[in-house]
C-alpha cells in the first residue's frame, strides 16, 4: 500500500531512514524543483527568501554536478563574474574577474548553505505528468539508497518514489547529457576514447597524438590544455565556428556586447563584434576556422551555438601546435581517416561534441517544451508553462539568463502560494466558525 504524507514540509531532510523503504508516495507542500545546478539553487534561494517550502530532486550526490564532476580542471568562467552570480548574493570581492571553476563551486556551496538549501540527492526523475483531473503533477523517481548496514556492506539499493505537487520547476539544464556521435570504425580504433565531460587535464598525455573532435569552447580549451602538457592535438572542425577575443582592448567582449545591445539591434552588434574580432585576431579562416554565415550572438540565441571566447588556443593554432583538420570519415585501428582523404595516426580521442537537454526523456508534455528539450517560447518568455509548470536555465544566455528566470519563476510561485494559503486560511476559519456555532 502507498502511504501518502500530506503537507509535509521539505520532508526529505527529516526522514527516518526506515521511511526510505516504506514511504513511496509523497505529497509535497510547494513546488518540486528538478536539478540542483545553479538554476535550481537560484529558484530555491528566491523561494526560501519568501518562506515558500519546496523540495529539490537531484540525480547526483552533490549540488552543481556539471561543475563538480563533468568539467576539466583548468576551466574558468568565461564571462566576467558580474554576469555569473546568482540572485541576492554577489561573488566575494576578492574573486578575480573570471573565477576558476573551484571558486565558482565554493560560491555555490556557500550559496546553498546561506539559504539552508538541502536537495534530495541520488534521486533521478524518470517521468513527470500532469494529472488534469486533480490539477496535480505526478513525478516518478528512482532513488538510490545505501543498503542497510551502511558502507561496510557495500552496494546500493534502488526504490521508486512518486511525488505529488501543484507545481514543477524544470532546472535540469541545457547540458544535462553528453552528445556522443556514432563514427564508422570507432569500435576497432583501439585507443582511448572519452567525452570532454570526463577530461580533467592533459597530465599523462605528454607525447601523445590526440584527436579532439569539435571546436566549441570545450574542444578549443581541451586542445590548449593538451598543448600545455606537451601532447600533440589535432582539432576536428567539420563545419564553422565564431572565434571572438575574450577581451577587446582590455574590456570583456561579452560586457561590450551587452552594452551595445542596449542601443543597437542584434545584427549591428554582431557586425561590430566581427569587425573587432577581425582587427584583433586577424583572418582566422586561413587556419581552417571558417565563420558561420549568421552572426555570433544571433547564432547563440537562435541555435544555441556558443561562440568561442578565445583564451589562447588560437595562438597555438597559429603556431601549428594545434593542427586544425576537417571532418571525420571513419576510424581505423590506431588511425582516423578524414573527409579530405588524409589519414592520421592517433593515440587517443576526446569527443568535445557538446551536450543536450534531457527534458523530453522524462517530461510527459509536448506543449511547453520542444522535441529538443528547450521551451517553445523564446527568451524572455520561456519560463512559464501551464498548470504550474516552469523552466529555469533554458534561455541560451548562460548563468545570467538562469538568474533572470529564477527571479521570474519564484515571483510567480510566491504569488500563487500566498493566494492559496490565504484561501486555505479563510476555509479553515469558516469551518472553525461553523464548529463553534454548533455548541
Ligand atoms: C564546460 C562548461 C562551461 C560553462 N561555462 C559557463 C560560463 O562560464 N558562464 C555561463 O554563463 N555558462 C557556462 N556554462 C553553461 C552552463 O550550462 C551553466 O553555467 C550552468 O551550469 C547552467 O546551470 P543549470 O542549473 O541550468 O544546469 P546544470 O548546471 O546542468 O544543472 C542541472 C542539474 O540537474 C540535474 N539533473 C539532470 N537531469 C536530472 C533528472 N532527470 N533528475 C534529477 N536531476 C537531474 C543534473 O545532475 C544537474 O546537477 C558552461 C557549461 C559547460 C558545459
Ligand atoms: N567557461 C568556459 O570557458 C567554457 C564554456 N563552455 C560552454 O559549454 C557549452 C558546451 O560547449 P561545448 O562542449 O564546446 O559544445 P558545443 O555544442 O559548443 O560544440 C560542439 C562541437 O562539436 C562538434 N561536433 C558535434 N558532432 C560532431 C561530429 N560528428 N563530428 C565533428 N564535430 C562534431 C560541433 O560541430 P558543428 O558546429 O558542426 O555541429 C561543435 O563544434 C557551451 O555553451 C560553451 O560555451 C564549454 C567549455 C568552456
Ligand atoms: O558559456 C555558455 O554556455 C554561455 O551560455 C554563456 C554565454 C551566454 N551568452 C553568450 C554569448 C557569447 C558567449 C557566451 C555566452
The domain ranges of the chain are: 18-175+357-430, 180-239+307-351, 242-303
- To the nearest 10°, report the CA torsion of 402, 13, 163, 61: 60
Separation of 306 CA from ligand 2 center, angstroms? 8
Long-range interactions of 429-438: CB distance < 8 A, separation 24+: none
Closest CA to 138 of 305, 388, 413: 388
Res. 400 pLDDT band, cuts 50 70 90: very high
Check whether 179 has a pLDDT greater than 90.
yes
Q: How far is it, in rounded angstroms, from Cα 359 to Cα 182? A: 22
Complex prediction ipTM: 0.98
Query: Cβ contacts of residue 358 below 8 Å, gap of 6+?
Result: 172, 176, 177, 373
Residues with CB under 6 A from ligand 2: 75, 77-78, 175, 181, 196, 213-219, 221, 236, 238-239, 306, 327-328, 352-355
Q: How far is it, in rounded angstroms, from Cα 353 to Cα 186? A: 15
Ramachandran assignment for 50, one of left (phi > 0), alpha (psi -120 to 50 degrees), beta (any other): alpha
Residue with the smallest CA separation from ligand 1 atom 35 is 35
CB atoms within 10 A of CB 434: 9
Separation of 148 CA from ligand 2 center, angstroms? 42
Residue with the smallest CA separation from ligand 2 atom 42 is 306
Res. 4 pLDDT band, cuts 50 70 90: very low
pLDDT, tens only, 264-293: 999 999 999 999 999 999 999 999 999 999
Q: Tell me the whole-structure pTM to 2 decimals.
A: 0.94
User: What pLDDT is attached to residue 155?
Assistant: 79
pLDDT above 90 covers a percentage of the chain that reads 87
Check whether 437 has a pLDDT greater than 90.
no
User: What pLDDT is attached to residue 10?
Assistant: 39
User: What pLDDT is attached to residue 430?
Assistant: 81
* Same fold? 18-175+357-430, 180-239+307-351: yes
* Ligand 1 neighbour 401 (Cβ under 6 A): no
User: What pLDDT is attached to residue 18?
Assistant: 54
Q: Which regions of 152-226 does DSSP assign to beta strands (E)? A: 156-165, 168-170, 177-178, 192-195, 209-213
- To the nearest 10°, report the CA torsion of 191, 196, 198, 201: 90
pLDDT, tens only, 321-336: 999 999 999 999 999 9
Please report where in the chains the cell 504569488 appears, as a residue: 415
- Nearest-atom index, ligand 2, CA of 181: 29
Among 92-101, 141-150, 230-239, 292-301, the minimum mean pLDDT is found in 141-150
Query: Are residues 346 and 334 in contact, defined by beta-carbon separation less than 8 angstroms?
Result: yes
Residue to mutate (ligand 2; options 99, 178, 199, 214; most atoms within 8 A of CB): 214
Q: How confident is the prediction for the chain on average, in pLDDT? A: 93
CATH 3.60.70.12 is held by the domain 180-239+307-351? no
CATH 3.50.50.60 is held by the domain 18-175+357-430? yes
C-alpha cell at 366: 509536448
Res. 9 pLDDT band, cuts 50 70 90: very low
Amino acid at each position: 500500500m502507498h502511504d501518502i504524507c500530506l503537507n509535509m514540509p521539505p520532508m526529505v531532510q527529516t526522514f527516518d531512514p526506515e521511511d526510505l523503504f516504506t514511504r513511496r508516495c509523497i505529497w509535497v507542500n510547494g513546488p518540486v524543483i528538478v536539478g540542483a545546478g545553479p538554476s535550481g539553487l537560484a529558484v530555491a534561494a528566491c523561494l526560501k527568501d519568501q518562506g515558500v517550502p519546496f523540495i529539490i530532486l537531484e540525480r547526483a550526490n552533490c549540488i552543481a554536478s556539471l561543475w563538480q564532476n563533468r568539467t576539466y580542471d583548468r576551466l574558468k568562467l568565461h564571462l566576467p563574474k558580474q554576469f555569473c552570480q546568482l540572485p541576492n548574493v554577489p561573488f566575494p570581492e576578492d574573486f578575480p574577474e573570471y573565477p576558476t571553476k573551484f571558486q565558482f563551486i565554493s560560491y555555490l556551496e556557500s550559496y546553498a548553505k546561506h539559504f539552508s538549501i538541502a536537495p534530495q540527492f541520488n534521486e533521478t526523475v524518470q517521468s513527470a505528468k500532469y494529472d488534469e483531473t486533480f490539477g496535480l503533477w505526478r513525478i516518478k523517481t528512482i532513488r538510490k539508497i545505501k543498503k542497510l548496514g551502511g558502507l561496510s556492506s557495500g552496494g546500493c539499493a534502488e526504490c521508486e518514489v512518486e511525488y505529488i505537487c501543484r507545481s514543477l520547476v524544470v532546472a535540469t539544464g541545457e547540458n544535462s547529457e553528453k552528445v556522443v556521435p556514432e563514427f564508422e570504425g570507432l569500435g576497432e580504433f583501439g585507443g582511448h576514447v572519452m567525452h570532454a565531460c570526463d577530461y580533467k587535464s592533459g597530465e599523462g598525455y605528454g607525447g601523445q597524438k590526440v584527436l579532439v573532435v569539435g571546436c566549441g569552447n570545450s574542444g578549443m580549451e581541451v586542445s590548449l590544455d593538451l598543448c600545455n602538457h606537451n601532447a600533440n592535438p589535432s582539432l576536428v572542425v567539420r563545419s564553422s565556428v565564431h572565434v571572438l577575443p575574450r577581451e577587446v582592448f582590455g574590456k570583456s567582449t561579452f560586457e561590450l556586447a551587452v552594452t551595445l545591445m542596449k542601443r543597437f539591434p542584434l545584427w549591428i552588434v554582431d557586425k561590430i563584434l566581427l569587425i573587432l574580432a577581425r582587427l584583433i585576431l586577424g583572418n582566422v579562416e586561413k587556419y581552417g576556422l571558417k565563420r558561420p554565415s549568421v552572426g555570433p550572438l544571433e547564432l547563440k540565441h537562435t541555435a544555441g551555438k556558443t561562440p568561442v571566447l578565445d583564451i589562447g588556443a588560437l595562438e597555438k593554432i597559429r603556431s601549428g601546435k594545434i593542427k586544425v583538420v576537417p571532418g571525420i570519415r571513419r576510424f581505423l585501428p590506431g588511425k582516423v581517416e578524414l573527409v579530405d582523404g588524409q589519414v592520421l595516426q592517433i593515440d587517443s580521442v576526446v569527443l568535445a561534441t557538446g551536450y543536450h537537454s534531457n527534458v523530453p526523456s522524462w517530461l510527459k508534455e509536448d506543449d511547453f517544451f520542444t522535441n529538443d528539450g528547450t521551451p517553445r517560447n523564446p527568451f524572455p518568455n520561456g519560463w512559464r508553462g501551464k498548470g504550474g509548470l516552469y523552466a529555469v536555465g533554458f534561455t541560451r544566455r548562460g548563468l545570467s539568463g538562469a538568474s533572470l528566470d529564477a527571479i521570474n519563476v519564484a515571483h510567480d510561485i510566491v504569488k500563487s502560494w500566498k493566494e492559496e494559503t490565504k484561501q486555505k486560511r479563510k476555509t479553515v476559519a469558516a469551518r472553525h466558525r461553523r464548529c463553534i456555532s454548533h455548541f
